[in-house]
């Protein structure tokens, strides 16, 4: 070492100078490097501050939607028919669960999951949903299960107990077809509605009033801004915008009248629609058999749903607004009005009824309902009034032949057939009003004179719904002032349905003719104690002890073929081939307060089968409860 | 001037001298000591917040720092000449231990960095090399004519590369970089020709593709992540994205101490260790970071000043090298956390949680104080 030191020429002075130079250079370099860091921080913290601040907020703040309580629905007397039930549900946020199987196994030991629950849960899990959306495992937790889950919360990441409101229909199946129901919100629903407004909502109105007034009933979603940590756990709530509850609705419906209607149908397949002719308010709208809408909310298993769907009696089918049937003889009062207006007949004109009608130059006999193979039948000398109260086909064949299709189509349309005139009836069908143009287009055939004959007695292609026929009854009750059927009577929301634009009165028909037709319809119910074949068709069944004046008209619609979608079943075939029974009525005649249409599928004769149902409904509406009780006691 | 006046002047000087002598006897450099204490105190405040006010963990760090300060005081007493003589021994010992680590070391977190001797706390030989390498290189160069010749430089490079490679194999890229940087710092200070530095830099650039080839997958991923962290925001990019958000959202004045949402809601990973400056930046803002960087800059300035005042070449090279190592620490850490460099495991000196690096750092400052307080031989 010393040798090398001696050999090399070391110059401490120069080494110090050189080191100092180097140190200075490096010091400048350091200063610049630190300046670089400062500039970088300046860039991040000052120049880009807003962007990073926003991202930091987005990181920690989660906006959680709060579902608005759905508006409640009441009947006209303020009785709850659709409300909300507070429930605690067990929810799973899959994204936050570390091990789903282990979590389910733990829940199994804690609260004992059923196989159906697991299955339904797995089904909901694979369905498409929003990210981080909780999936229901059990809709209603009892307090003990809740406590067990709460105590073990730390072992159950991603499992939450959610307090919520669940739609509840206290009347069960009574009002199902009128009020409708809500169903679980689906992916397809989210395509139709504003996904933000529905971000917390789990059910949506799918049928009936619930569907039509979805917007008013839903309310406005609220928001809660919460702070979450990197694992998504909520650390605190920052602020809260409460949801706005949905609007409450009060309907024209009367729960008791509805119950009376359902009771009167007595388990048969059929429909009853009752309107207040003054307003068009729907007082009762029943379709039997019915279903319990609560089942769809509590979760119907696949079997239960299939059973409902495949039931031959079609409980899910709303006959009152979606069932389209030939009106049969209930169409005759309208044909009478058309014929009087067209000058084809008048109240004095009469003809002799041989029991059948023949078109000039044709051999085919169009039979009256009184015709029998044995004695030929016939109802003697028939004028227009008798043609209505005796429901003479022969007389109306004659009118049909001379009217042709257009005037009949025109009167049908004037009374609201062939279209949906209801203000707020969800899914109401239009029925069908045929005419020459329609037949050419639909069947590629010209209109034959025989078609006009069928038309005049409400058979053939003409189709109406019970709701439409009730509207016809109401319009007749109003002597030509049409009404639009509606459910809504009052609401805390200012809904356009509360004041629908009134329809112009049907002035093309004279008041004298209305009076004549109503008089004839009154005779249907009240003309009695005459010799055979002279009583009103419904008198024997409902008119003998009726304490108020009712105008009515029966109808019997032929069922030519087995309805679609039904299997061949020999035992049931005969019953299902029977005619549909119709009856329309309004009362009291002098100042009508209720107009009713009754349909009983395959019921047979309208007067015999449908008229008593109509009477029971009108009784329930017009008579004080005690006298109804008295009547029941009398029977 | 009266005799009394003279005495008074003398006595005042005397008093001043006495204080100086007192510090000198303890081998302490007052400005350096003050800056280290100040920086550590500032760091502790930030750490307390980064630890979510966990008093127990904070106490642990406090006691580790206290031990490190004692080590600094002891290091300050070391005789430089002796240090120079013992440098090769220390270096050799370190190398042996590095080899042992690779052969029989304790594994943790996918790396083999520790030597476990039963009955003793775990020991990380690479930490020792942060001091041993600059010591060795300074000692080596001090014996040779400066600026160093090509042959000398080649020797020095070998002295640096050997431990750096061994540490890199553990793998511990961060420490390898720090160890290499410590060696290079000494080499630079020794007067290495700038044109060689430039040449080396160019060669290094040219060798980058080759470097890419030998890099491990996770290291490549880190480089790619630096270039485009958003490509994998929830995976590889998470750390850097979250730390940039933390820093950026702090703004000029910060969100307030203990109020950082990124750090306290666990968005920021490693918030009390390598990424602690993001906590500082988030809670105390640009001005808060500026304060820390100013302290660092003053420390570096004092360190380099002490180096220029060293009693001989060895002392100067050693002091300068240790100062530059400290710089490398802080630069790599801040640049990494702010997204200028790929993520490597380098803590923020005097602030990050952990005892080992604080121990090495403060030992280094002790050596700096030794340099500052050992006078030049009168003969020089």
CATH number of the domain where residue A221 is located: 3.90.1310.10
* Inter-chain residue contact B247 with A52, CB threshold 8 Å: yes
Best of A45, A51, A235, A238 to disrupt the B interface (most B CBs within 10 Å) is A45
Encoded tokens for B183: 């060696």
CB atoms within 10 A of CB A266: 12
Check CB contact of B92 with chain A, cutoff 8 Å.
Answer: no
Contacts of B335 in chain A (CB under 8 A): 37, 40
Distance (Å, whole) CA B69 – CA B258? 27
Residues B156/B292, Cβ–Cβ less than 8 Å: no
CA A222 to chain CA centroid, nearest Å: 27
In DSSP notation, A21-42 reads HHHHHHHHHHHHHHHHHHHHHH
Residues A221/A67, Cβ–Cβ less than 8 Å: yes
**A469 and A548 inside one domain:** yes
Distance (Å, whole) CA A483 – CA A477? 10
Contacts of B185 in chain A (CB under 8 A): 26
Encoded tokens for B212: 């890419």
Closest chain B residue by Cα to residue A55: B245
Final residue of a domain: which of A230, A251, A272? Answer: A251
Contacts of A8 in chain B (CB under 8 A): 144-145
Q: Is residue B271's pLDDT more than 80?
A: yes
* Inter-chain residue contact A41 with B290, CB threshold 8 Å: yes
CA A352 to chain CA centroid, nearest Å: 48
Residue from the list B146, B252, B340 with its beta carbon closest to the beta carbon of A45 = B252
**A365 and A405 inside one domain:** yes
* Inter-chain residue contact B247 with A44, CB threshold 8 Å: yes
Distance (Å, whole) CA A624 – CA A611? 21
Cα distances (Å, whole numbers) of residue B369 to B78, B126, B169, B318, B321: 10, 23, 33, 11, 14
Check CB contact of B289 with chain A, cutoff 8 Å.
Answer: yes
Tell me the nearest-neighbour CA distance from A95 into chain B, angstroms: 14
Tell me the nearest-neighbour CA distance from A20 into chain B, angstroms: 6
Is residue A48 a part of any domain in this protein?
A: no
Encoded tokens for A513: 């003719």
Interfacial B residues in 230-269 facing A (CB < 8 Å): 242, 244-252, 261-262, 265-267
**A578 and A565 inside one domain:** yes
In DSSP notation, A291-357 reads --THHHHH---HHHHHHHHH-TT-TTS-HHHH--B--GGGGHHHHHHHHHHHTS--SS-EEEE-SEE
Cα distances (Å, whole numbers) of residue A417 to A25, A104, A413, A470, B243: 100, 57, 5, 11, 71
Top pLDDT among A596 and B208 is at A596
> How does pLDDT run across B289-311, given as a tens digit for each residue?
999 999 999 999 999 999 999 98
Contacts of A20 in chain B (CB under 8 A): 308
> How does pLDDT run across B320-354, given as a tens digit for each residue?
999 999 999 999 999 999 999 888 888 999 999 98
Q: Is residue B12's pLDDT more than 80?
A: no
Average pLDDT over residues B262-289: 90
The contacts of residue A341 (CB under 8 Å, 6+ apart) are A407, A411, A508, A509, A510, A513
| Residue of A89, A329, A392, A607 marked catalytic | A329
> CA angle B368-B373-B376, nearest 5°?
110
**A181 and A86 inside one domain:** yes
Q: Which of A349-363, A616-630, B114-128, B366-380 has the highest mean pLDDT?
A: A349-363
* Inter-chain residue contact B300 with A30, CB threshold 8 Å: yes
> CA angle B93-B96-B102, nearest 5°?
140
* Inter-chain residue contact A9 with B143, CB threshold 8 Å: no
**A203 and A294 inside one domain:** no
Please tell me the predicted confidence (pLDDT) of residue B121: 64
**A201 and A102 inside one domain:** yes
Place of tokens 């014996």: B143
Number of domains in chain A: 2
Interfacial B residues in 266-285 facing A (CB < 8 Å): 266-267, 281, 285
Cα distances (Å, whole numbers) of residue B112 to A158, A230, A479, B87, B344: 37, 30, 100, 26, 16
Which of these ranges, A538-542, B87-91, B145-149, has the smallest mean pLDDT? B145-149
Q: Which residues of chain A have pLDDT under 70?
A: 1-10, 128-132, 231-232, 300-301, 372-376, 560-575, 626-635
State phi, psi for A595 to the nearest 5 degrees. Answer: -125, 135
Average pLDDT of the residues of chain B: 86
**A485 and A591 inside one domain:** yes
Buried b (16+ CB within 10 A) or exposed e, A232-247: eeeeeeeeeeebebbb
CATH number of the domain where residue A325 is located: 3.40.710.10
* Inter-chain residue contact A56 with B281, CB threshold 8 Å: no
**A265 and A214 inside one domain:** no
> How does pLDDT run across B154-202, given as a tens digit for each residue?
999 999 999 999 998 888 888 888 899 999 999 999 888 888 888 888 8
Average pLDDT over residues B140-152: 87
Contacts of B191 in chain A (CB under 8 A): 15, 18-19, 22
Please tell me the predicted confidence (pLDDT) of residue A573: 52
Is residue A220 a part of any domain in this protein?
A: yes
**A344 and A397 inside one domain:** yes
Give the helix/strand (H/E) hosting B328: helix B313-337
3-state SS of A423-434 is CCCCCCCCCECC
**A453 and A487 inside one domain:** yes
Residues A431/A326, Cβ–Cβ less than 8 Å: no
* Inter-chain residue contact B143 with A45, CB threshold 8 Å: no
Range of the domain at A131: 63-251
Encoded tokens for A433: 């009003």
Residues A318/A547, Cβ–Cβ less than 8 Å: no
Please tell me the predicted confidence (pLDDT) of residue A572: 54
Q: Among B36, B31, B52, which residue's Cα sits nearest to residue B353?
A: B52
Contacts of A39 in chain B (CB under 8 A): none
Residue percentage of chain B with pLDDT more than 90? 48
Is residue A572 a part of any domain in this protein?
A: yes
Average pLDDT over residues B7-21: 55
Give the SS3 label for residue B137.
Answer: helix
Please tell me the predicted confidence (pLDDT) of residue A276: 96
Encoded tokens for A587: 């009362």
Q: Which residues pair with A224 in a beta bridge?
A: A64, A240
Please tell me the predicted confidence (pLDDT) of residue A467: 97
Is residue A6 a part of any domain in this protein?
A: no
Give the SS3 label for residue A182.
Answer: strand
> CA angle B358-B362-B365, nearest 5°?
150
Backbone torsion region of residue A339, taken as left when φ is above 0, otherwise alpha when ψ lies between -120 and 50, otherwise beta: alpha
CA B280 to chain CA centroid, nearest Å: 19
Tell me the nearest-neighbour CA distance from B301 into chain A, angstroms: 7
Q: Please report, for chain B, the start and end positions of each structural domain, with discontinuous segments joined by +.
A: 43-77+231-374, 98-214
Cα distances (Å, whole numbers) of residue A429 to A214, A284, A379, A479, A502: 20, 18, 37, 25, 21
**A342 and A437 inside one domain:** yes
> How does pLDDT run across A219-240, given as a tens digit for each residue?
999 988 888 777 667 778 888 8
Place of tokens 């050997």: B162
Final residue of a domain: which of A251, A275, A290? Answer: A251
Residue from the list A8, A15, A37 with its beta carbon closest to the beta carbon of B335 = A37
Is residue A270 a part of any domain in this protein?
A: yes
Final residue of a domain: which of A223, A251, A279? Answer: A251
* Inter-chain residue contact B297 with A34, CB threshold 8 Å: yes
Check CB contact of B308 with chain A, cutoff 8 Å.
Answer: yes
**A360 and A388 inside one domain:** yes
Distance (Å, whole) CA B377 – CA A409? 128
- Judge whether A329 counts as a catalytic residue: yes
Distance (Å, whole) CA A508 – CA A516? 15
């Amino acid at each position: 070492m010393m040798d090398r030191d001696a050999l090399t020429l070391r110059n401490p002075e120069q080494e110090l100078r050189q080191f100092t130079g180097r140190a200075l250079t490096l010091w400048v370099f350091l200063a610049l490097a630190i300046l670089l860091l400062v500039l970088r921080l300046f860039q991040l913290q000052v120049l880009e501050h807003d962007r990073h601040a926003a991202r930091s907020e987005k990181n920690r703040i989660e906006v959680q939607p709060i579902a608005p309580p759905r508006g409640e629905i009441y009947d006209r007397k303020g009785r709850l028919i659709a409300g909300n039930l507070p429930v605690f549900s067990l929810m799973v946020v899959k994204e936050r669960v570390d091990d789903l199987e282990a979590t389910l196994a733990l829940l199994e030991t804690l609260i004992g999951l059923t196989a159906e629950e697991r299955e339904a849960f797995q089904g909901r899990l694979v369905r498409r949903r929003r990210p981080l959306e909780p999936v229901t495992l059990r809709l209603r937790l009892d307090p003990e299960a809740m406590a067990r889950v709460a105590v073990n919360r730390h072992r159950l990441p991603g499992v939450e107990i959610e307090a919520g409101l669940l739609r509840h229909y206290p009347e069960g199946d009574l009002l199902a077809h009128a009020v409708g129901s809500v169903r679980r919100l689906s992916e397809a629903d989210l395509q139709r509605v504003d996904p933000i407004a529905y971000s917390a909502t789990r059910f949506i109105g799918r049928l009936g009033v619930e569907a039509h007034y979805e917007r008013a009933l839903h309310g406005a979603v609220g928001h809660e801004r919460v702070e979450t940590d990197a694992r998504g756990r909520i650390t605190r709530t920052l602020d809260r915008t409460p949801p706005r509850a949905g609007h409450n609705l009060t309907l024209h419906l009367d729960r008791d009248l509805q119950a009376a209607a359902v009771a009167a149908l007595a388990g048969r397949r059929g429909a009853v629609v009752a309107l207040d002719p003054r307003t068009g308010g729907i007082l009762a709208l029943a379709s039997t058999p019915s279903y319990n809408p609560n089942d769809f909310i509590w979760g119907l298993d696949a079997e239960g749903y299939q059973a409902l769907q495949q039931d031959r009696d079609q409980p899910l089918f709303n006959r009152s607004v979606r069932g389209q049937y030939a009106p049969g003889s209930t169409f005759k009062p309208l044909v009478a009005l058309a014929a009087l207006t067209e000058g084809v007949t008048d109240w004095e004109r009469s003809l002799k009824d041989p029991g059948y009608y023949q078109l000039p130059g044709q051999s085919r006999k169009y039979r009256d309902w009184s015709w029998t193979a044995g004695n030929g039948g016939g109802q003697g000398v028939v004028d227009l009034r008798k043609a209505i109260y005796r429901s003479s086909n022969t007389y109306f064949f004659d009118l049909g032949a001379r009217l042709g299709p257009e005037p009949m189509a025109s009167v049908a349309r004037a009374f609201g057939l062939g279209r949906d005139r209801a203000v707020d009836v969800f899914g109401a069908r239009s029925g069908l009003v045929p005419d020459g143009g329609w037949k050419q287009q639909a069947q590629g055939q010209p209109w034959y004179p025989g078609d006009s004959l069928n038309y005049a007695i409400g058979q053939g292609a003409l189709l109406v719904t019970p709701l439409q026929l009730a509207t016809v009854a109401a319009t007749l009750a109003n002597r030509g002032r049409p009404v639009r059927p509606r459910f809504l009577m009052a609401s805390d929301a200012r809904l356009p349905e509360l004041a629908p634009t009134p329809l112009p009165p049907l002035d093309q028909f004279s008041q004298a003719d209305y009076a004549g037709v109503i008089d004839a319809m009154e005779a249907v119910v009240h003309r009695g104690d005459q010799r055979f074949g002279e009583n009103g068709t419904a008198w024997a069944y409902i008119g003998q002890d009726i304490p108020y004046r009712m105008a009515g008209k029966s109808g019997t619609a032929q069922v030519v073929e087995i309805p679609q979608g039904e299997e061949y079943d020999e035992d049931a075939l005969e019953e299902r081939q029977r005619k549909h029974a119709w009856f329309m009525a309004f009362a009291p005649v002098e100042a009508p307060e209720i107009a009713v249409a009754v349909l009983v599928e395959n019921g047979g004769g309208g007067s015999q089968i449908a008229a008593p149902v109509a009477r029971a409904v009108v009784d329930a509406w017009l008579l004080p409860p005690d006298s109804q009780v008295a009547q029941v006691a009398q029977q | 001037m009266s005799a009394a006046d003279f005495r008074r002047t003398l006595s005042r000087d005397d008093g001043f001298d006495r204080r100086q002598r007192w510090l000198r006897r303890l081998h302490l450099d007052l400005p350096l000591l003050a800056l280290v204490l100040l920086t550590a105190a500032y760091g502790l405040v930030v750490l307390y917040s980064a630890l979510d006010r966990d008093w127990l963990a904070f106490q642990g760090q406090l006691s580790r720092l206290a031990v490190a300060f004692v080590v600094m005081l002891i290091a300050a007493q070391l005789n430089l000449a002796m240090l120079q003589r013992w440098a090769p021994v220390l270096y050799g010992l370190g190398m042996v231990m590095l080899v042992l680590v690779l052969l029989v070391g304790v594994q943790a977190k996918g790396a083999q960095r520790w030597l476990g001797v039963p009955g003793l706390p775990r020991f990380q030989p690479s930490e020792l090399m942060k001091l041993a390498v600059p010591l060795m290189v300074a000692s080596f160069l001090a014996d040779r004519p400066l600026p160093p010749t090509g042959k000398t430089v080649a020797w020095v490079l070998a002295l640096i590369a050997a431990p750096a490679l061994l540490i890199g194999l553990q793998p511990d890229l961060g420490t390898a970089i720090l160890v290499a940087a410590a060696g290079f710092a000494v080499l630079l200070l020794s007067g290495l020709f700038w044109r060689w530095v430039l040449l080396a830099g160019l060669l290094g650039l040219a060798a980058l593709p080759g470097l890419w080839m030998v890099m491990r997958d996770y290291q490549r991923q880190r480089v790619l992540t630096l270039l485009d962290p958003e490509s994998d925001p929830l995976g590889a990019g998470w750390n850097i994205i979250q730390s940039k958000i933390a820093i950026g959202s702090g703004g000029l004045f910060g969100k307030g101490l203990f109020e950082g949402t990124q750090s306290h809601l666990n968005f920021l990973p490693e918030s009390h260790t390598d990424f602690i400056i993001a906590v500082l930046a988030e809670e105390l803002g640009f001005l808060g970071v500026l304060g820390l960087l100013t302290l660092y800059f003053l420390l570096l300035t004092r360190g380099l000043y002490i180096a220029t005042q060293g009693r001989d070449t060895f002392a100067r090279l050693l002091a300068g090298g240790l100062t530059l190592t400290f710089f490398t620490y802080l630069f790599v850490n801040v640049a990494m956390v702010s997204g200028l460099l790929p993520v490597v495991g380098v803590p923020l000196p005097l602030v990050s949680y952990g005892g080992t690096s604080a121990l090495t750092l403060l030992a280094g400052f002790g050596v700096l104080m030794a340099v500052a307080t050992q006078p030049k031989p009168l003969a020089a």
